[in-house]
Chains A and B, each alone.
Chain A
């Protein structure tokens, strides 16, 4: 019941066998050994598993791997090679956003997708893009601040 999956992850072509209904999250973590993308809830409620598929933020815990065959996946391990991702990572460290850090892969992926689509987001844009990402340490104040810093960095 496995099928051969071919997809482009972080610029590399990956081929592996997996059940077609297997969420991308588990293919990344348990088959490919890419553990930067995190498991949080399994029902698209917390955003810890956020990755980009063709540049858009998606919850990999509910996205069957067969649905992303032949599409382009970017994960936290590689988002720094995108202009928006690099700005977000830098701003995250400058604002010292992170506490435990477990949700932050997802937060950074969501923020990078936001900035790629909306270079100068206002507060309501940030709310809309980031409300699906839970942070149990409560770093939201700094997430907002860092997104604004990253956006300003883009302008200068």
Chain B
């Protein structure tokens, strides 16, 4: 078992992402995480009252990070929450990556040890505050006992207990040993938010100083003595197997040491990545492609369209939708979203040392404990014989919610003497992703007197939850796929929402930044704009008319309209588009302003988001997450599509799977509304907001109602009409 102390570096990092489906649905799982298990690490007079806090006699306060840092700033946010209730001395805070331990570090929303779905701050808000407050109370008890005074007469600030009446003080470090002997009190009161001294302040991130000078260590940077380097090729056709391998040319390449041939992949091990890569290129591999070689995008879309015509499982039904749809004028539309790759900047990798009786892994993952258990299966070892050393993640975006890259590395490492670093080429990374699934959402709605009377909405797409978190897949409903479809912000009297599970053949599908809300916010907000036009109303005004009882939505919408100069004149072929979304427990309105040129190319001019995410733990990180999330979503809207031909992914690298670049950037403004409500999720909100806001801007600029992503420029050339 790895102890927290073997985690990589000292002071790091930040926090706060996660998914929204928890709000609409209480996960039917038994929470058994964050138990008050006494950690083993009580050596050297260290005060270790719970899974998250260690204070040594010098006062160094080590905080163990239950959520992983992949850029979202969670290490800093987690630390701020702990330090707030602990009244820690921020200058003495150091961080550790948590080890694999589901009970101590499980995410209370998922129950497993996972970072994703914009859940981190929402899930850990209460457990971390409790942990900090409880530790603080034990330190106060220890000081009060030493002074023989009432604990209630003591105060704390910046790592020091003070007895005001006598003027005595004791630093936390000096109390560490004595505090360890205290019994943790029950039901410790938490601070009134008005008394927060850290939470709500724009704190500098703890992980960034080492990221400007090359010192930060990502999984791909792990250096293990005597390691070799490998890269791999999996069958280009999903599910295909290795046939014959001619390795004669590869073996002649200087630095190539070993060719590992497994049933579904081939790896070359060398003295460095260059030898491994050249060796792989020199292999002559004959693949048994199998039945999936016939799969192509056209057939996948035909199947999905057919599936979406079927009746689904009812996820929500309020009012009388049959009656609603028979009242007024009826409109229908369907919206389609493509497969997407994650393309984290850090290509997939894992370094593994397999011995007969143990296995050690160095990687960056969003699922520590699952990686440990899957690696144990692959290694044929008991789980306690597998150690996972967590690292910073060079982007996650949901890709590292899967263990496949580690499992492949373990299988390769089993054939290799000594530690081996397995790094995927970018081409392998894009062609063997676990893809955001294709979705097709159909909507029928009626308008009467300028209001929506009936709303029937059907989602068709893969059930990622059924595979990834089976206990949460109940009654045929994927709670992620329907997220933000069952809780649209608007007052509509008759609503019916259905889900059709439609799994694409052979293509692995998984979570992608923005998760379920990506498809639903897009379809809902695009269609609301179309209905506004049918009703002869301005899109913002139309939305306002359905928000009378939703003050938080109304407030962000109004402020976004104001800040974006909504309604003020624009040149020809320039438009503004709005998106209002309920996702991830936050309330966000976004306006994108874009120009469409005569050829149909898009020029992003401006993006304005107004965010009410409840208590903003670290406001600057929230702004940064929305800025970056918008870029992620706009990139997908403009370029993102993985296509399949002959069972293979057709894209391979950044030349044909394009990313937005700095020269294409709009101005971005993010406004965070002050709020005393419980914190919402933030890391994925910009991603969900960008595409519908851009699409609606294009609709305003050209009159063309796009219903499919990525944006097809051919439909937007001058003279084209919806």
A135 to B663, CA, bound (A): 12
Contacts of B220 in A (CB 8 A): 35, 38-39
**B617 shortest CB reach to chain A, Å:** 15
- Does B187 touch A at the CB level, under 8 Å? no
A90 to B349, CA, bound (A): 31
Binding site for B on A (CB under 8 A): 1-2, 19, 22-23, 26-27, 29-31, 33-43, 45-46, 48, 75-77, 79-80, 89, 92-93, 96, 98-105, 108, 126-128, 130-144
A133 to B659, CA, bound (A): 10
Q: A40-B654, A103-B394, A126-B662 are in contact. List 8 more A-B contacts (CB 8 A).
A: A2-B255, A19-B254, A41-B653, A80-B212, A93-B204, A101-B216, A134-B345, A136-B632
**B255 shortest CB reach to chain A, Å:** 7
Binding site for A on B (CB under 8 A): 70-73, 204-205, 207-209, 211-218, 220-221, 223, 229, 254-255, 271-275, 277-278, 343-347, 392-397, 423, 425-426, 620-621, 624-625, 627-632, 635, 653-655, 659-663, 665, 667-668
Contacts of B211 in A (CB 8 A): 98, 101, 104
Q: What are 24 A-B contacts defined by CB distance under 8 Å?
A: A22-B274, A26-B274, A30-B272, A33-B223, A36-B213, A38-B346, A43-B655, A45-B654, A45-B655, A89-B212, A92-B208, A98-B211, A100-B392, A100-B393, A101-B216, A102-B345, A104-B212, A105-B214, A108-B212, A131-B661, A134-B654, A137-B628, A140-B660, A141-B627
A116 to B661, CA, bound (A): 22
In the bound complex, do residue A103 and residue B214 qualify as a contact, i.e. CB atoms below 8 Å apart?
Answer: no
> Known interface pairs A39-B273, A102-B395. Does A96 touch B662 (Cβ–Cβ under 8 Å)?
no
What is the chain A residue whose CB lies nearest that of B343?
Answer: A136
Contacts of B274 in A (CB 8 A): 19, 22-23, 26, 30
Contacts of B426 in A (CB 8 A): 40-43
**B353 shortest CB reach to chain A, Å:** 17
**B633 shortest CB reach to chain A, Å:** 9
**B232 shortest CB reach to chain A, Å:** 14
A99 to B395, CA, bound (A): 9
**Which 5 pairs, one residue from A and one from B, show the smallest C-beta to C-beta distance?**
A36-B214, A138-B631, A102-B394, A100-B71, A101-B211
**B652 shortest CB reach to chain A, Å:** 9
What is the chain A residue whose CB lies nearest that of B205?
Answer: A96
A38 to B349, CA, bound (A): 13
In the bound complex, do residue A34 and residue B214 qualify as a contact, i.e. CB atoms below 8 Å apart?
Answer: yes
A27 to B220, CA, bound (A): 15
A70 to B216, CA, bound (A): 29
**A24 shortest CB reach to chain B, Å:** 10
Contacts of A38 in B (CB 8 A): 218, 220, 345-346, 394
In the bound complex, do residue A22 and residue B272 qualify as a contact, i.e. CB atoms below 8 Å apart?
Answer: yes
**B614 shortest CB reach to chain A, Å:** 22
In the bound complex, do residue A92 and residue B212 qualify as a contact, i.e. CB atoms below 8 Å apart?
Answer: yes
In the bound complex, do residue A1 and residue B254 qualify as a contact, i.e. CB atoms below 8 Å apart?
Answer: yes
What is the chain B residue whose CB lies nearest that of A41?
Answer: B426
In the bound complex, do residue A140 and residue B212 qualify as a contact, i.e. CB atoms below 8 Å apart?
Answer: no
* Highest count of chain A CB atoms <10 Å: which of B70, B425, B628, B660: B628
> Known interface pairs A31-B272, A96-B205, A102-B394. Does A134 touch B659 (Cβ–Cβ under 8 Å)?
yes
